[in-house]
Structure 1
Amino acid sequence: MAGVSIAAEWQLLGDKYYRKPEIYQLRWKNIDLARNKVACAPFGGPIALIRDDSKIVQLYAESALRKLRIFTSSGHQISETIWRNPGGRLIGLSWTDNQTLICITQDGTVYRYDIHCKLIEPNVSLGHECFEHSVVECVFWGNGVVCMNEAFQLFCVSDLGNPKVSKLADTGLEEFPVCMAVIEPQYTMSGNVEVLLAVGDHVLLVEEDGVQTVGEGLGPLQKMVVSHNGKLMASFTHDGQLLVMPTDFSSIIFEYACESALAPEQLVWCGMDSVLLYWDDMLLMVGPYGDPVRYLYDDPIILIPECDGARILSNSNMEFLQRVPSSTESIFKIGSTEPAALLYDALDHFDRRSAKADENLRLIRSSLPEAVEACVDAAGHEFDPSLQQTLLRAASYGQAFCSQFQRESIQEMSKTLRVLNAVRSPEIGIPLSIHQYKLLTPSVLIGRLVNAHQHLLALRISDYLGMNQEVVIMHWACAKLSVSSAIPDATLLEILLDKLKLSRSISYAAVAAHADQIGRRKLAAMLVEHEPLSSKQVPLLLGIGEEDTALSKATESGDTDLVYLVLFHIWQKRPALELFGMIQARPLARDLFICYARCYKHEFLKDFFLSTGQLHDVAFLLWKESWETAKNPMASRGSPLHGPRVKLIEKAQNLFAETKEHVFESKAAEEHAKLLKLQHELEVSTKQPIFVDSSISDTIRTCIVLGNHRAALKVKTEFKVSEKRWYWLKVFALVTIRDWDALEKFSKEKRPPTGFKPFVEACIDADEKSEAVKYISKLADPREKAEAYARIGMAKEAAEAASQSKDGELLERLKNTLQQNTTASSIFDTLRDRLSFPGVS
């Protein structure tokens, strides 16, 4: 009998049944849809109302101020705000896919509101052309809109979340089209929106780059509406014909002659199987087969197309018109003998302890899996919880006798229905069908609950479905901060922490950032202390002005990038001395600062070292700068006594002199400055830029090579060059210029303190054997004499000198040196045999 009462409410359209159950008795009072502009969001979304100023209405006891009010689908008011009418008459009102309310006014301004009537900044303008020529028509889709102005120009915004206005091709119209429709970008070949304009007996298809004429001879069309999948279009002609055709206008799939040629107030698709037409008091549902179905209404209604039907909003209730699902039809159709109907009936008999239950089960034994599946599917399509339970009990009853059917299917459906029943409750007011729920996805549903501040339900659903609760908790925390201005920081912190700890991955830094944005900086600092990730914690501490704490956290983390982030921030925001004081007690920060400044900010680093009393470090920097100055040829010019480099080195010397530990560096700097001055003088006198930055030895050698022996002696005296070093330098310099006479004269001035070894070495290196022989004979050490003779190939003389040393090892080494000379080898062998050395046999 239950099946009979359920099916009795169905209407047959062709061979398909439709039902129109009431979902809600609306909670609002004194609402007349006829007096308001109304926007209803799909997927059971909210309803926006604002008094229609284009109609003359009696205000009764209400205020003359117009209010924008937002309700749930059950008529519960969420929010309201006064509509100031800033941009002229309201032309368009619609919801985007992410439930942002779009209001477009006559002057082309786009106002965006969230569901709490909070204006989303900034407002968007459609451009000066819409300001000069008022907007007259808007057609919305998903997240986009197309507007026409009084100059017959079309403007498109493809994404109202990130608005960019583009102008479509010039229509060439001289009068307004009868109606407009759009084909969404996702369904067009070009990927851009296509606008359909009913003009005369044809339709103009307008894109960004051109206009086409289509559907010639069809018009004038008074209404057009494109299906959800973008493939079909329903239209109402001037002579009362309803036409359904592909959006390419290639053919007419279906036509129906209506009783009235008066255009319907609303024309929408009901799923994909039928079209709804609404006049003042009648709703007509037309399908491809059979007679249409008529529904009569005393009150005005608003049709809200959905992917699987249409919601019908009236002043007092909300209904859902949909095609009866095949599983539901197989169970509840009058006289049905389908397996699912017999299984449902078997449960009824079982509850009444009737043997007929067993008889029904035997009849459908082979089809039991299909019957169970149909009962589960039918339960999903029901809005009545008691009927859902009965159908799932029938499925569970049949599953007990059917091993092939998996129990997980019943469990999953139960879980889904619990979620749907929770959001469908009048307090929440989101009447999703199971098909809409699957298209919307649980994560989007939770996002919508969160945006509606239904945090507890969102949290419970997230937990029930095993989803991440972080998004819900984060949004709750930020919302709590916004509405808790009267609660002290410490108390509010405890409240927040109690909930934030529910999620391990929660970002305390993000909550703290929100606290800072609303002006609760102290609470933000308290919250950020609980953030475990330094990479999130440190930037926020900087943002709320806690630089000292940020530097401590960064150095504790050991992350050099974070430390540099803090250093650069403080560098820009605070005086230098404050920065120096903050890093001095933190070795990592100090070392990183020094490392960076040493490469790029010398002056700043000098200030730091001076502020901390590290004079020697300043001196080293000055010394380094003197070498950097040398690389710039312009900087090394000028007075030889007061050049920039000399000044820098002298400053460094003075600083070194102030510390006892750097006596050597002080002396070295002093001598470096003295040498540079002397080298500058030499370059000025010789007019040859070859002295500066050479060593003392090279300076002496260069002077001698140039013949300036007096200058060489001056350098020797000034820098107390030793006699031995002086001899080596002068000998090699004279050999370099091959002045053999001067070399010989120098060797005879006095007994050389180095002996004659430098003379020998220099001549051999210059490959002057004859000159070398002069000085080899003067060598006192026979070993040195023997090796020198050997180096110039004089084997006999080498052998004689070696024999004087009585060194057998030397003889062997010299023999090996001259082994290519057979005569020399025999001489060394003879010497070794003739002489008897201790330890040599």
Structure 2
Amino acid sequence: MYRIFIFQATYANKPMKKCVTNKYKTSDSRSLKGIFNDVVRLMVTRNPSLNWEKLQDVFYRNREICTLQWPVEEELRYAISTTVIAIELRDFLQIFDYNGNMIISIDKSQFKNVIRFEFDGAEQLVVATPNSVTVVTQFKPLAFKTCRLSENIQDSIWDYKSGLIIMQQSQDIYKLTGSSIELLLKNEGQYTLLTKEHWNSNGNKAILLDVQHVYELEINEAKMTKILSDAQWHRVVLSPNNFICLFNVKFNKLQVFKSSSRILLEHTLEETPKGIKWCGDDTIACGFLDEIKLYGPGNSYVAFWFPQEIAALHTEIDGLKVFTEESVQFISKVEKHTSNTFKIGSTESSAILLDSLDLLEENAARAIENLKTINLKQAVTDCIEASKEELDPQLRKRLLSAASFGKASLSTEVFNSDLFVEACSVLRLLSLLKALEIHLTVKEYSTITLPGLITILLRRQEHYKCIMICQAVNSLEQLPTIFTHWAISKIKYSKDSNDGELYSSIKEQYYSLPDHIKAHISEIFNTAYLEGRFALSRNLALLEYSPEMRIAQLLQLDENSMALREALKMQCPELSTSLIFNFCEKLTTAQLAKLLIMDMPTEQLYPYIFRADEKLLYDYYRQTDRFVDLAHLILLQSKNEGSIRIFLPQVQELYSKILNNNLIKQDTELIQRQEKIWIFQETLTANLGSSFSDLTLDQTLSKLIEMRQEKHTQSLIKKFKVNEKKFYHIKIGALVEKKMFNDLYQFAISKKSPVGYEPFYKCLMRKGYKGEASIYISLISTISYGEKIEMYVKCKAFEEAIQLAGKERDIKGLKELYKKMPANDPQLKSLINEYMSKI
């Protein structure tokens, strides 16, 4: 242990630099540097606080992310994102992951005269040239979209940062918006920027260092404000949270503020830094040859020394990445929960819980007793949060084991175990990502999010990695996106595969998706369509699970018949109707008729929609041999024209073409009967001198009754076999209609009525002939005494009602009638009293 602390002390004060860089060998053939690194790694794994540095009341630490062989060329231009590095090497822009594996090498000649390149928030490479800005949307294969300056702009691009463009001559500020470059702010001589380090932007705000003043530009509002006057600064760095760091090269002066009215810190540096970056979002870091210094208030700072020369710096949401010639390091703040757990001499609950885990094997009783003395819930929470901050797998495992040990003594009401499960899930994912050579912290992953990470990998055509990640987090929502991107790439870049092979491959993967995860085919269909693979497009359209989109895709291919069949399968009249209207607009009548004949010969939807267009229906029924419908249409037309008779031969001819149909047989018999009626009516017209044309049989019979043509009436009844009961109803109606009341009564009493006498009463009452109706009440034998009284009262035949009640010796009924008698008719009341006195 004594030797270990000697190594640590020596490392902290730098005298070992020489022996580390020179490959001195020990007796076991291992380099002194290797032994030193192993010892330090062992110490840090046991207690990571051994390499912490304290700035004010906050600890910072440096950890290695991975090894990386950085190019040693001078004046190297580069751009760094959270997952990849772009380096300009001679005639190429080469993109690597953090382990140095090349993703793509882009020939610079495609862009011409590259001014600047950087990664945007979605980790797309943005390349600025004098007259355009290009966004590389895909690495494998290379795909990009270019926005060019308008021809009206008589200037060229000078610099580009975070979506903002500054012009060469005017120094006007433009903004990259989607697929265009738009003017944001005209300079008009307000400021002068001498170098490209005299301005910076974070996408929300920009700081401009004029020769004498400092300006702040709110990008969303396009509003410029002077925040410092008569102040000379030469470099500016903006944090994501709008903290501003200014540096004066002449005096090596550093100043940090968020509002110019309140300076947060000022430092005068001993030498000019090679780079100034934000460590996280609130600490400024300066990079020197082999050292990084973090500055705090009151002239305080901490330093981190590196064995190799520092090549590049990159700000992350939770720290600072330092790229040396041989590795990628990560400087970050030590969060409170981690400090509580690992700080030397800590008596916090999480530290005691971790110690209790170590004590568990030797003295389980003592370990469990320790749990009773601490805030166990806080201890478990701190250990879980600390595990999410660590990069070392062994430390993560220790912390999660301690959390698991502690939460076993907590009830579900006190502690939500989902926090532990979620931490395990995200750390398992980060371990997988590290194995896939993607190095992320929990905060970086939370910022990028799972969809963002999938998008980054799809840009490299790494579909298998995407699926592995989705399976690791048990999240399948991104599978449709992955499948769609894979299928599109398959179609675009499989030039030697035929449509059948591509369809089989895509179909197989489509059906391998989980049942509850559905992927739309529309984007894949459009790709196949634009690639001229129409057979593949048709098959893909039929694979689409959304019927509306399936039909739309088939229509795009002019597969009208297939689209109609798909619509009919849905049994949705609205969908089929809209489709038919679409056909009416783009097809000729002959094409439409052929389509309908082939695909919907028995459907009634089309005739229903166009029921008012008789000409269209006539052609349709004729071409489809729908004789019955055509006959009905002819009858309807003849009725509307008032000339049914002249069209009946056509109808009979159409009916004659249909065999073994009972309904048609009945209709034919009715037509023949109608012809006999017309002949009979012509005879009546000739004999009686009155027109019987266009009358129905019932109307003809009524007219003969009204004319008192008994002979012709009987002839009609016999010839057309009119039922006696029907005859009675027709005659009652005809006589009442013509007010032939005497004839009606004689007809009623001439013989016993086969329909009874109630129809006489009801027909007269409907016409309002109450007095005449009352005559027939006494003839009705099928109703009760009480019903007869009610009928008399309705007819206002009060005297007959009184006589019937008196006859029945109904005192109660007479009393009720007394109440209903008109006040101005005392004779009726007297009659009632007379009957009551006799009972």
Alignment TM class, shorter chain as reference? 0.5 to 0.7
Kept in 1, the 8 Å contact 2:235–2:247? The answer is yes
Cα 1:433–1:624 shift into 2, 3 Å: same
Kept in 1, the 8 Å contact 2:521–2:540? The answer is no
Aligned ranges 1:15-164 → 2 under 5 Å? 15-26=57-68, 32=73, 34-36=75-77, 38-41=78-81, 44-50=82-88, 66-85=91-110, 89-116=113-140, 118-121=142-145, 123-129=146-152, 131-140=153-162, 144-145=163-164, 147-148=166-167, 150-157=169-176, 160=177, 162-163=178-179
Cα 1:201–1:22 shift into 2, 3 Å: same
What displacement does 1:245 show? 1.2
Aligned ranges 1:570-585 → 2 under 5 Å? 576-584=589-597
Q: Look up the SS of the partner of 2:207 in the other structure.
A: strand
Kept in 1, the 8 Å contact 2:428–2:472? The answer is no
- The one-letter code matched in structure 2 to 1:100 is Q
| TM-score, normalisation: structure 1 | 0.66
Cα 1:571–1:374 shift into 2, 3 Å: same
Cα 1:135–1:669 shift into 2, 3 Å: farther
Cα 1:395–1:659 shift into 2, 3 Å: closer
What displacement does 1:196 show? 3.1
For 1:180, the equivalent position in structure 2 comes to 199
What displacement does 1:199 show? 2.1
How far apart are the structure 2 equivalents of 1:763 and 1:83? 107
How far apart are the structure 1 equivalents of 2:431 and 2:405? 23
How far apart are the structure 1 equivalents of 2:801 and 2:340? 123
Kept in 2, the 8 Å contact 1:653–1:666? The answer is no
Q: Look up the SS of the partner of 1:389 in the other structure.
A: helix
Kept in 2, the 8 Å contact 1:3–1:334? The answer is no
What displacement does 1:614 show? 3.5
Answer yes or no: is 1:201 the counterpart of 2:212. yes
RMSD of aligned alpha carbons: 5.8
Q: Look up the SS of the partner of 2:446 in the other structure.
A: helix
How far apart are the structure 2 equivalents of 1:475 and 1:528? 17
| TM-score, normalisation: structure 2 | 0.67
How far apart are the structure 2 equivalents of 1:806 and 1:391? 108
Q: Look up the SS of the partner of 2:276 in the other structure.
A: strand
202-211 or 415-424, which deviates more: 202-211
How far apart are the structure 2 equivalents of 1:808 and 1:363? 107
How far apart are the structure 2 equivalents of 1:656 and 1:504? 58
What displacement does 1:541 show? 4.2
Which structure 1 residue ranges, 5 or more long, are not aligned? Answer: 52-58, 60-65, 185-192, 631-644, 675-695, 698-709, 732-745, 831-841
Cα 1:730–1:31 shift into 2, 3 Å: farther
Cα 1:297–1:824 shift into 2, 3 Å: closer
Cα 1:613–1:35 shift into 2, 3 Å: same
Aligned ranges 1:302-317 → 2 under 5 Å? 302-314=312-324, 316-317=326-327
For 1:833, the equivalent position in structure 2 comes to none
How far apart are the structure 2 equivalents of 1:721 and 1:558? 42
Q: Look up the SS of the partner of 2:427 in the other structure.
A: helix
Deviations 1:572-594 (A, max 9, x none): 66665454344436558732222
What displacement does 1:33 show? 7.4
For 1:431, the equivalent position in structure 2 comes to 439
For 2:260, the equivalent position in structure 1 comes to 249
- The one-letter code matched in structure 1 to 2:130 is Q
For 2:283, the equivalent position in structure 1 comes to 274
How far apart are the structure 2 equivalents of 1:7 and 1:237? 35
Deviations 1:626-667 (A, max 9, x none): 99xx9xxxxxxxxxxxxxx79999899867766547879999
Q: Look up the SS of the partner of 1:503 in the other structure.
A: coil
For 2:17, the equivalent position in structure 1 comes to none
Deviations 1:357-403 (A, max 9, x none): 98888778624846655544443323232443344455556777889
Cα 1:723–1:650 shift into 2, 3 Å: closer
Cα 1:584–1:220 shift into 2, 3 Å: same
How far apart are the structure 2 equivalents of 1:778 and 1:307? 106
Kept in 2, the 8 Å contact 1:25–1:74? The answer is yes
96-105 or 720-729, which deviates more: 720-729
How many residues are matched?
708
Q: Look up the SS of the partner of 2:131 in the other structure.
A: coil
How far apart are the structure 2 equivalents of 1:478 and 1:16? 50
Cα 1:19–1:497 shift into 2, 3 Å: same
Cα 1:824–1:245 shift into 2, 3 Å: closer
Answer yes or no: is 1:503 the counterpart of 2:514. yes
Aligned ranges 1:256-405 → 2 under 5 Å? 256-260=267-271, 266-278=275-287, 283-289=292-298, 290-293=300-303, 295=305, 301-314=311-324, 316-329=326-339, 366-367=373-374, 369=376, 373-393=381-401
Identical-pair percentage: 20
Kept in 2, the 8 Å contact 1:171–1:206? The answer is no
Cα 1:220–1:652 shift into 2, 3 Å: farther
What displacement does 1:320 show? 1.6
What displacement does 1:312 show? 2.4
Cα 1:468–1:794 shift into 2, 3 Å: closer
Which structure 2 residue ranges, 5 or more long, are not aligned? Answer: 5-41, 657-663, 715-729, 751-759, 783-787, 808-839
How far apart are the structure 1 equivalents of 2:371 and 2:120? 48
Q: Look up the SS of the partner of 2:444 in the other structure.
A: helix
How far apart are the structure 1 equivalents of 2:356 and 2:696? 121
How far apart are the structure 2 equivalents of 1:720 and 1:358? 112
What displacement does 1:436 show? 1.8
Kept in 2, the 8 Å contact 1:615–1:656? The answer is no
How far apart are the structure 1 equivalents of 2:338 and 2:360? 21
Kept in 1, the 8 Å contact 2:359–2:366? The answer is no
Kept in 2, the 8 Å contact 1:102–1:113? The answer is no
Kept in 2, the 8 Å contact 1:616–1:656? The answer is no
Kept in 1, the 8 Å contact 2:148–2:180? The answer is no
For 1:590, the equivalent position in structure 2 comes to 603
For 2:619, the equivalent position in structure 1 comes to 607
- The one-letter code matched in structure 2 to 1:609 is Y
How far apart are the structure 2 equivalents of 1:270 and 1:529? 54
Aligned ranges 1:752-831 → 2 under 5 Å? none
For 1:223, the equivalent position in structure 2 comes to 235
